[in-house]
A = this chain, B = another copy of it.
Amino acid sequence: MIDTSSAIPTAIESKHLFLRAAAGAVTERPPVWLMRQAGRILPQYRALRSKFPDFKTFVKTPEASTEATIQPVDELGVDAAIIFSDILVVPEAMGLDYEMIEAKGPRFPKVIEYQKDIDALLTGKAAAEHLSYVYEALKMTKTALADRVPLIGFAGAPWTIFAYMVEGGGSKTFSKARRMLYTEPAMSHLLLQKITDTTIAYLQNQVLAGADLLQLFDSWAGELPPAHYRIFAVPYLRQICEALPEVPKTVFAKGAWFALEDLAELPCQVIGLDWNITPEYAKKATEGSKVLQGNLDPCNLYADAATIKKETTAMLQAFGGNHIANLGHGVYPDTPLDGVRVFVDTVKEGMRNEG
């Protein structure tokens, strides 16, 4: 059992730059990490991964997850670790198994089509119980990190998990999932609520296992029209944020530029931004109410060092304070490690906030 009595230090008083920045404090420089920093960009990861027959076995082995989580801290000197896992462990825990097809992505042999499919799902704590390997990995990582940097836990946002469960995998349009919102709105809400309940239980357990901050990935936010994002996404993000007052929370809704004003009203501390959104637009839309995270174009890291330095510095200057440096998307698998290093080092050395 997880000890619910363990106290969580207030982020703003943390010794960690990342947590202080996430809590809105003025920091000596912006902290830096990269989405998907744990993974294929590192040769150490590829060596570790090759010892496992498939991705899912890897994800379900806490020792492997721990090692992959710590590798970028050692290798790149980032200011935060993010637990190596996958957003699709949640639908799986609810009873919808997925396959990860190498170089293609996830596939769900069975999808949600009818009310009975939703009725058959596990939900809330009962579903979250099946994810003990994640909690184990968080605890092991926490011990291994020895408080060097904070540990980020995460989950997919309900709409994105819904999209996979209905669509059955990646899609150019997610038209099956979006179709259900029009044809079966009540059923859609029922499924979104079940995903939300499970996600809350899952993230509560992550916090108890040591996660210092939680990030919600709404990868397919940009597929929804603004009115639907307001109806089918934002209320569930709100429920999750409200259920987890103990730690700072980041919402990264890719493509949801149109919803920034709504996201700015969520009880979360940080808003993640994709590379389509200019710092100016984001600052205006959120009116300084949130810490902003992002958003260098990941393709920038293919460039030469001088270009990366120049564009990273321009980004840091455009955001100014209350900023966590990151890319605007997960780092692409074939990104040269040298490019990643220049990015991290530029943030760490090239730009120090005054005072």
Contact = CB atoms under 8 A, between A and B. Distances in A.
Given A170-B172, A222-B276, A302 B257 contact: no
Interface string A330-343: 00101000000000
A168 to B, nearest CB: 14
Contact of A299 (B178, B297, B302, B334): B178
B297 A277 contact: no
B179 A302 contact: yes
Contacts of A317: none
Contacts of A228: 297
A182 interface: yes
A329 B298 CA distance: 26
Contacts of A281: 258
Nearest to A172: B170
A313 to B, nearest CB: 14
A302 B328 CA distance: 33
A300 to B, nearest CB: 6
Interface residues of A, number: 34
Contacts of A173: 298, 329, 332
B182 A303 contact: yes
Given A170-B172, A225-B276, A226-B276, A299 B179 contact: yes
B258 A299 contact: no
Given A175-B332, A278-B258, A183 B302 contact: yes
Interface of A: 170, 172-173, 175, 178-179, 181-183, 222, 224-226, 228, 255, 257-258, 275-278, 281, 297-300, 302-304, 307, 328-329, 332, 334
Given A170-B172, A182-B300, 15 more contacts: A173-B298, A173-B332, A175-B332, A179-B299, A179-B302, A182-B302, A182-B303, A182-B307, A183-B303, A222-B255, A226-B276, A255-B255, A255-B276, A257-B257, A258-B277
